[in-house]
Amino acid sequence: MAKQLLLIDGNSIVFRAFFAMHNQIDKFTNKDGLHTAAIYGFKLMLDHVLENFHPDAALVAFDAGKVTFRTKMYADYKGGRNKTPEELTEQFPYVRELVRDSGLHTYELKDYEADDIIGTLAKEGDEAGYETLIVTGDRDLTQLASNHTTVAVTHKGVTDTEHYTPEHVKEKLGITPTQIIDMKALMGDSSDNYPGVTKIGEKTAIKLVKQFGSVEGIYENIDQLKKSKMKEHLVEEEAIARQCKTLATILRDAPIDIKLADLNYNGPQTEKLIDFYQKMDFRSFLKKLDVLSDEQEVEIAPIKYTELTANNLELVSQLGDRGSFYLEMPDANYHTSPFAGFVIGNGKQWLVSRDSELLKTKQVREWLADSAIKKDVFNAKAQIVGLNRLGIELKGIDFDLLLASYLLNTNDNSNDLGKLAQEHEYADVQTDEEVYGKGVKRAIPNDEIFFKHLANKARAIEKLRSSLFKQLDENEQLPLYTDIELPLAHVLAKMEITGVHVNAQTLKDMGSKLTERLAEIKEQIYQEAGEEFNVNSTKQLGQILFEKLKLPVIKKTKTGYSTAVDVLEKLAPQAPIVENILQYRQISKLQSTYIKGLLKVIHSSDQKIHTRYLQTLTQTGRLSSVDPNLQNIPVRLPEGRQIRRAFVPSYDGWQIFSSDYSQVELRVLAHITGDHNLQEDFKNGEDIHASTARRIFHLKPEERIDRDMRRRAKAVNFGIVYGISDYGLAQRIHVSRSQAHEFIQSYFKEFPKVKDYIHDTIEFARKNGYVETITHRRRYLPDINAKNFSRRSFAERTAMNTPIQGSAADIIKIAMIRMQDELEKHHLKAKMLLQIHDELVFEAPKEEISVLSRLVPDVMDSAVKLAVPLKVDSKYGDTWYDLKK
């Protein structure tokens, strides 16, 4: 077998590793305060590569400095780059140390870049019969791909790579690897800061290279090009194009003073690596080495536990004033999941059992219900609901690992305790999948393994408490945790336990009518199509519409023809079948998701639906609702709205009551931007879309605002909140892109501080890597500095949207906590049932409706003090459908 050569582009991988882990930058520091994320990421990459590739020779090349022969030739080369952050530069010496301890050679050469070293050695490798793998974060190196050299470019993160062979390059770009140089010469490279030829981008560059072979080929045959602007640019900028080609070309003959023979790879120097890991506090890598040397099973620090039985319950009372508690419910739905066992305890003693009946004993029950004993848990809400099913109260919750972890970083949040602990650099607990298995094989294991796992979980919660609290404090998030999210978990638990009464018969009656209608429409569709097919299949439907009936294709998806509503609406005038398909879709959605779906989840014991609110999922701080989702019950279309007739109060003589915030997101926008005009409009109680229309269309006071103007202004308002683009706005309100552009400009002129806010927020995100809401809820945006345009743009839109959507979420959460307090304080029978982002739904005895009509809006509009008033509207009725003012 051919010898194998590994060449790693040190600088680009270090950069990649650093930015890939940028959102956790503070988590990766050693005890001396050294940042270690890039070092850690580099090692991840290295291990990953060496798993699949076993080199005989290996080298990591680094840049020797900023000055190279390229900067001497072209002063602006790589100009305009941001200064490398200090947190990164300090890591380079350690990366080199790591590389050498790992048994790889390092090399750098004055005046040359790492690329050139790699290019030169790869060529030598090719000639000496090596199979070479180049690993880099820089796509430019793909020009080095050959029959015996593969270039692995990191894709996202550091271990996910895309392998470029000449075939792969051909497939992706249609050219050879060396032609990539010509392509880049023509199109330029904004990150290396050389221009290429004006107006030539990737598409045009590839076309030219395919046609003429190379930059030189183009100029030899320039006469063949028809007269055009492009030709003029090419002719005028010939010198630039040729110079860019030199800049883009990686050297294959740099004057290096090492030889392949010097680069033997003989594996890592384990002793040194262990020292290094200790210096860096890389616990997980240390664990891995232990596994290798000690066979197995030392993975997790040993733990002692005691099985709790009816005969040693006094141990619970002896635990003291703090302890972890964890009730294992193996199904995600804790309203119905069996109880597999529990653990209770602290560093002194871990008590475990499979018998949930023991929880009902006096000793345990009192321990759980004693608010003076602080409890550390994972997912407080689930624990409260689970225990409630056993008739047990859980009081004194102090630390919720899941909740705290979510607040620290919404991105890498997991519902699995083991995974989450690992995210926080705690390795002494496995994931449920590792212990219980997955799919059909998932099962609770024998006592020994199961009890140990439970004890490990409880210990992990305890061990992580102080560090997570400390991080919350550093982020100024303690009040968010203590005063909002943790109390909210209790409120949500109550709402979930209460549930919503749903009349199954109403749904069944609606269902049978819909079944009939569906059958009729389906018949008509088959007639019009001339054959029977599965209308639910977008693939089959596409074939019927666009191939058989030859309707024009308006939009395509990755997999074929798009048949989405906006497309079908455009086609509707051309063929009657389309209208029927739209009808069919609408009704079958109601039938499958809402009639059948809801009937499936009504609990037979109480005729209620008990949703679960996910408190630790969304990136903005909103809740979400599952099993079932009660936050998307139809309301917009009259047919769908009927579903709400089935949502009824739990008792005779009760009614449904609902209050919602009016325009809460735009009010938040007015508040956080400080925009004078926007604030005035709200303070004056204006119809905000109408007043926006008046401003952006420059209407005189006496001119009236027609419906269409208001509609457009409303779309602009939405657009602003979502991160507007002229294209997006144009699509939505059916105007030209340039008109949409004008609307936006006009908006920014009228509301100048909104424009400033967008700019400042994006700047803040670039600098800090995150954005935050009025309560310091954070969202990290790792893509905010991405090179890829669309990823970066997306991050920019979320940067400006998240503080708005998230602050609105904060506001209603505060209102919910206060509302629950008020209900209890006033001894009201009314129950809070649902939260739908800006709306709270209650059930209450008729006598209490007048109380709620004052109380709920009072609580909601005073939840926080903003620079503009909050407005709340209320309605009530006999069912959720019948709500009226």
Partner DNA sequence: TCGTTCACG
Partner DNA sequence: ACGTACGTGAACGAT
Q: Return d(Cα 877, Cα 885) in angstroms, integer.
A: 9
Q: Is 631 among the residues that bind DNA (CB under 7 A)?
A: yes
Restricting to residues 700-729, which ones interact with DNA according to CB under 7 A?
715-716, 718-720, 722-725, 727-729
The length of the chain, given as a count of residues: 885
The one-letter amino acid at 389: R
Asked whether position 628 contacts DNA by CB under 7 A, the answer is yes
Among 330, 597, 845, 877, binds DNA (CB under 7 A): 597
Q: Judged by CB, which is closer to DNA: 626, or 864?
A: 626
Closest Cα partner for 707 from 690, 695, 721? 690
* Residue 568 C-beta: closest distance to DNA, Å: 7
Report in angstroms how near the CB of residue 484 gets to DNA at its nearest.
18
Give the nearer residue to DNA in terms of CB position, either 322 or 766: 766
Binding-site member from 632, 736, 745, 768 for DNA (CB under 7 A): 632
Burial of 662 (0-12, 13-18, 19+ CB in 10 A): middle
Interface residue with DNA, options 166, 640, 752, 877 (CB under 7 A): 640
Contact between residue 461 and residue 399 where contact means Cβ atoms under 8 Å apart: yes
Q: How far apart are CA 187 and CA 182, in angstroms?
A: 9
Contact 403, 616 (CB under 8 A): yes
Q: Is 624 in the site for DNA (CB under 7 A)?
A: yes
Cβ 714 to DNA shortest distance, Å: 9
Question: Nearer to DNA by C-beta: 155 or 600?
Answer: 600
Q: Residue 228 CB, nearest distance to DNA (Å)?
A: 12
Cβ distance to DNA smaller for residue 82 or 790 = 790
Which residue blocks in 1-36 are alpha helix, DSSP H?
10-20
Handedness of CA 144, 148, 153, 158 (dihedral sign): negative
CA distance 802 to 772: 7
Cβ nearer to DNA, comparing 126 with 140 = 140
Fill in the per-residue mask, 829 to 848: x = in contact with DNA (CB under 7 A), - = not in contact: -------xxxx---------
- Using CB under 7 A as the binding criterion, the count of chain residues that bind DNA stands at 79
Residue 797 burial (C-beta neighbours within 10 Å; 0-12, 13-18, 19+) = middle
246 contacts DNA (rule: CB under 7 A): no
Q: How many CA atoms lie within 13 A of 106 on its CB side?
A: 16
The interface mask with DNA, positions 653-672, x = CB under 7 A, is -------x------------
Q: Compare residues 41 and 621 and give the one whose CB is closer to DNA.
A: 621
Long-range (24+ apart) CB contacts under 8 A made by 653-656 are: 653/845, 653/846, 654/843, 654/844, 654/845, 654/846, 655/843, 655/844, 655/845, 655/846, 655/849, 655/876, 655/877, 655/878, 656/841, 656/842, 656/843, 656/876, 656/877, 656/878, 656/879, 656/880, 656/882, 656/883
Compute the least distance from the CB of residue 467 to DNA, in Å: 26
Does position 462 interact with DNA (CB under 7 A)? The reply is no
Please give the order of strands across the beta sheet that includes 831-835. 831-835, 839-845, 654-662, 871-877
Residue (182 or 376) nearer to DNA, CB: 182
Note whether 646 and 507 are within 8 A (CB). yes
Residues 315-344 that bind DNA (CB under 7 A): none
Strand, helix or coil for residue 532: coil
Of 739-798, binders to DNA (CB under 7 A) are: 789-790, 793-794, 797-798
Task: Give the x-and-dash track for 572-591 against DNA (CB under 7 A).
Answer: ----------x--xx--x--
CA distance 823 to 400: 26
Query: What is the nearest approach in angstroms of DNA to the Cβ of residue 196?
Result: 11
Residues 801-830 that bind DNA (CB under 7 A): 801-802, 805
Instruction: For residue 388, give the nearest of 360, 351, 350, 354 by alpha carbon.
Output: 360
Residues 180 to 199: which contact DNA by CB under 7 A?
Answer: 199
Q: Which is nearer to DNA, 364 or 598 (CB)?
A: 598
Stretch that binds DNA, among 15-23, 303-311, 529-537, 759-767 (CB under 7 A): 529-537
Nearer to DNA by C-beta: 369 or 617? 617
We find the least distance from the C-beta atom of residue 592 to DNA, in angstroms, to be: 3
Residue 526 CB, shortest distance to DNA, in Å, is 15
Identified binder of DNA from the candidate list 425, 627, 822, 878, rule CB under 7 A = 627
CA distance 779 to 400: 19
Q: Smallest distance, Å, CB 47 to DNA?
A: 24
As measured in angstroms, the least distance from the Cβ of 563 to DNA is 4
Cβ closest to DNA, residue 117 vs residue 841: 841
Nearest approach, Cβ of residue 158 and DNA (Å)? 20
> Is the dihedral angle over the CA atoms 449, 451, 457, 459 positive or is it negative?
negative
Determine if 600 is a binding residue for DNA (CB under 7 A): yes
Give the 3-state secondary structure of residue 376: strand
- 626 binds DNA per the rule CB under 7 A: yes
- Nearest to DNA of 29, 204 (CB atom): 204
HEC sequence for 276-344: HHHHHCCHHHHHHHHHHHCCCCCCCCCCCCEECCCCCCHHHHCCCCEEEEEEECCCCCCCCCCCCEEEE
Tell me whether residue 111 or residue 627 sits nearer to DNA (CB atom). 627
Is the distance from CB of 867 to CB of 679 less than 8 angstroms?
yes
Nearer to DNA (CB atom), residue 251 or residue 808: 808
- Which 535-564 residues touch DNA, going by CB under 7 A? 536-540, 557-559, 562-564
**Among 518, 553, 614, 786, which residue interacts with DNA (rule: CB under 7 A)?**
614
Q: What is the CA radius of gyration of the chain?
A: 32
Count of helices and strands (H, E) across the chain: 38, 25
Q: Which is nearer to DNA, 4 or 624 (CB)?
A: 624
In terms of CB distance, is 452 or 612 closer to DNA? 612
Please choose, from the candidates 883, 870, 871, 774, the residue with its C-alpha nearest in 3D space to the C-alpha of residue 833: 883
Longest dimension (CA), the chain: 98
What residues between 203 and 242 interact with DNA by CB under 7 A?
Answer: 203-204
